[in-house]
Amino acid sequence: MPQEPQNAKDQLTYDAIVIGSGISGGWAAKELCEQGLKTLVLERGRDVQHIKDYPTATMDPWEFKHRGEMTKDFLKENPLISRAAGYGEDDAHFFVKDKDHPYIQEKPFDWIRGYQVGGKSLTWGRACQRWSKFEFENPARFGYGIEWPISYDDVAPWYSHVEKFIGVCGNKDGIEAMPDGEFLPPFDMNAVQEHISKKIKENYPDRHLVHARWAHITEPKQIHIDQGRVKCMARNLCMRGCPFGGYFSSVSSTLPWAKKTGNLTIRPFSVVHSIIYDEKLGKATGVKVIDTNTKAEFVYKARIIFMNASALNTNLILLNSKSERFPNGLGNDNGLLGKYIAFQNYRASVTADMDGFLNRYYFGRNPTELILANYRNLHKQETDYKGGFTTFMGAYRNRGPKETAEGEVGGAYKDSLTEPGGWSAYMYLQGETIPKERNHVRLSKEQKDQWGIPLLITSVEYDDNDERMIQDFLTQTADMFEKAGCTNIQKHENKQAPGLDIHEMGGVRMGKDPKTSLLNQWNQLHLCKNVFVTDGACMATTGNQSPSILYMALTARAATYAVGEFKKGNL
């Protein structure tokens, strides 16, 4: 438990406050501190320090009491969080428990959270495709979203800035729908991936299945060595925390970098209640915080506030930031705060087997997957649904035969598992969804959490557009596997609720018009210029590419702008 400062004036007032310590919060801290601002990072969860707080990072499967599985009692008590991708006995400590952080599902929505310093940057999927011009332009062009106030060209240099620092592996493929970046060498394709990629190209000249673009260091540069990070060891145990710093997290990268400047203070165990707005000054002056352990209240003051609490928590905090000027939430004159919540569609996948290639294998446990860049609705609207989708792909060798004469029991079956078996492959959907006003979050008027903060109500659902995209994905992907010579092709539709994708976005969206948006082109609240929102809440549309690296780029861009305005005395 951090001790409260003796000198309140010195310790309770900062140049900037960052709410949240995950992917975007870490970048806000790095940029603000590096450019000279005394910065406080508020994190509602516990402290986590690189290496020291990765208790399972080097454990073998047999060292876990339940061999990595969760008990039936635990699953019964935590039906929501236990559905999260990659969740298990080895990384459960980086996720919340259901009963500790309740919310109200008006419609089914799986809100996946990790409350600790580093947030979900410790457990994210690490895919790092750049958005293309199509993701920024097509929603307004084809009539399913508002116009973005920025273009790909505005963000491109900030993508480069981020990629060089975090380390992104990949290959320069020259694909219009997925722009090239500042890449380290990619992980190799295995034999079956190479074969399927080649066959797709032969049969579909406009489709590109290419090397992974992932936040993993494959060839450390000096900037990574200076961070204390080294090469990814291809263990594929990333969600336990990586003692090598092989993949990017704010705990291994941006936060320690910010700390070295001498300008960073991190306060864990700090639930943000609201942002304080000064009616006379016409701006935010600070943040009301509740200590999670003692429930004592504190007010921290700053001239700049960055919202990086993750999309839904940022919405919650802003909705709860009420004043005489803003009775419905900070900056919410148009009533759109909390509305147009969107997500990405992960409901479909296709699996297949591949005969042959039995004399080929691969090195290590590749932590990345190939990417089939979006090929739908790019230059024109060509399908009966709006938007497009990214496809992720992998191929692997099974262990031994599927069963022996004795079935999946006995010594013969056990011995067979020591030998490589045949090949299997999979592809799964990451689809764009349409932001809609009816998809929203709001505060409960009756129920509060243990700190007296209203519970969040989620009211978010799929639509017919999502259903049509799923069917197209399943048809096209099965056809591609068939043309590549695969067998036993199986289509899957998992029916998962929104939210389980962990790519929730919107509610505080960017836009050109204050009547239809909350943020301007610099991620500032239109009506409160010293509050910036650069996590997923800022998104005007979802795109089909993975969003996390865009959050980082937008954060670095906004923070640099904020520092400039701060030094001019405008904030």
Domains of the chain, each with CATH number or no CATH:
13-170+212-346+434-461+498-568 (3.50.50.60), 174-211+347-386+388-433+462-497 (no CATH)
Q: What is the pLDDT of residues 312-350, one digit of tens each?
A: 999 999 999 999 999 999 999 999 999 999 999 999 999
With bands split at pLDDT 50, 70 and 90, how would you rate the model's confidence at 400?
confident
Question: d(Cα 365, Cα 242) in Å, to the nearest integer?
Answer: 14
Task: Give the amino acid at 223.
Answer: I
Place of tokens 């876990």: 64
CB-side neighbour CA atoms (13 Å) of 5: 13
Eight-state DSSP code of residue 494: -
pLDDT of the residue at 9: 45
Contact, 314 vs 44, CB < 8 A?
A: no
Which of residues 417 and 131 earns the better pLDDT score?
131
Question: d(Cα 466, Cα 213) in Å, to the nearest integer?
Answer: 26
With bands split at pLDDT 50, 70 and 90, how would you rate the model's confidence at 6?
very low
Mean pLDDT of the chain: 96
Q: Where are the beta strands (DSSP E) in 292-347?
A: 297-307, 339-342
Q: Is the pLDDT of residue 5 over 60?
A: no
Q: In the structure, how many helices (H) and strands (E) does the chain have?
A: 12, 19
C-alpha distances in Å from residue 536, one per residue of 24, 77, 312, 508, 531: 9, 29, 8, 9, 15
C-alpha distances in Å from residue 387, one per residue of 358, 465, 506: 39, 9, 17
Q: Calculate the dihedral angle through the C-alpha atoms of 518, 379, 501, 31, rounding to the nearest 10 degrees.
A: -50
Please give the average per-residue pLDDT across 353-378, as a whole number: 96
Sequence-distant (≥ 6) Cβ neighbours of residue 79 within 8 angstroms: 98
Question: d(Cα 467, Cα 124) in Å, to the nearest integer?
Answer: 26
Q: What is the pLDDT of residues 58-113, one digit of tens each?
A: 999 999 999 999 999 999 999 999 999 999 999 999 999 999 999 999 999 999 99
Any alpha helices (H) in 364-418, and if so which ranges? 410-416
pLDDT above 90 coverage of the chain, percent: 94
What residues form DSSP beta bridges with 491? 350
Please give the average per-residue pLDDT across 123-127, as a whole number: 97
pLDDT of the residue at 402: 61
pTM: 0.96
Q: Is 456 helix (H, G, I), strand (E, B) or coil?
A: strand
pLDDT of the residue at 450: 96
Q: Is the pLDDT of residue 161 over 50?
A: yes
Question: d(Cα 571, Cα 424) in Å, to the nearest integer?
Answer: 56
Q: Is the pLDDT of residue 1 over 50?
A: no
C-alpha distances in Å from residue 196, one per residue of 26, 128, 262, 487: 38, 22, 51, 13
Contact, 39 vs 61, CB < 8 A?
A: no
SS3 for 231-278 is CCCCCCCHHHCCCCCCECCCCCCHHHHHHHCCCEEEECCEEEEEEEEE
Other CB atoms closer than 10 Å to residue 47's CB: what's the count? Answer: 17
The backbone torsions φ and ψ at residue 332, rounded to the nearest 5 degrees and listed phi first, read: -100, 45
Residue 74 CB burial class (10 angstroms; 0-12, 13-18, ≥19): middle
Q: Are strands 264-267 and 297-307 parallel, antiparallel or unpaired?
A: unpaired
Please give the average per-residue pLDDT across 206-213, as a whole number: 98
SS3 for 91-118 is CHHHCCCHHHCCCEECCCCCCCCCCECC
Q: Is the pLDDT of residue 479 over 80?
A: yes
Q: Is the pLDDT of residue 8 over 50?
A: no
Contact, 42 vs 300, CB < 8 A?
A: yes
> What letters, b where the CB count within 10 A reaches 16 and e where it falls short, cover 137-151?
ebbeeeebbbbbbbe
Q: What is the pLDDT of residues 500-535, one digit of tens each?
A: 999 999 999 999 999 999 999 999 999 999 999 999
Q: What is the pLDDT of residues 178-208, one digit of tens each?
A: 999 999 999 999 999 999 999 999 999 999 9
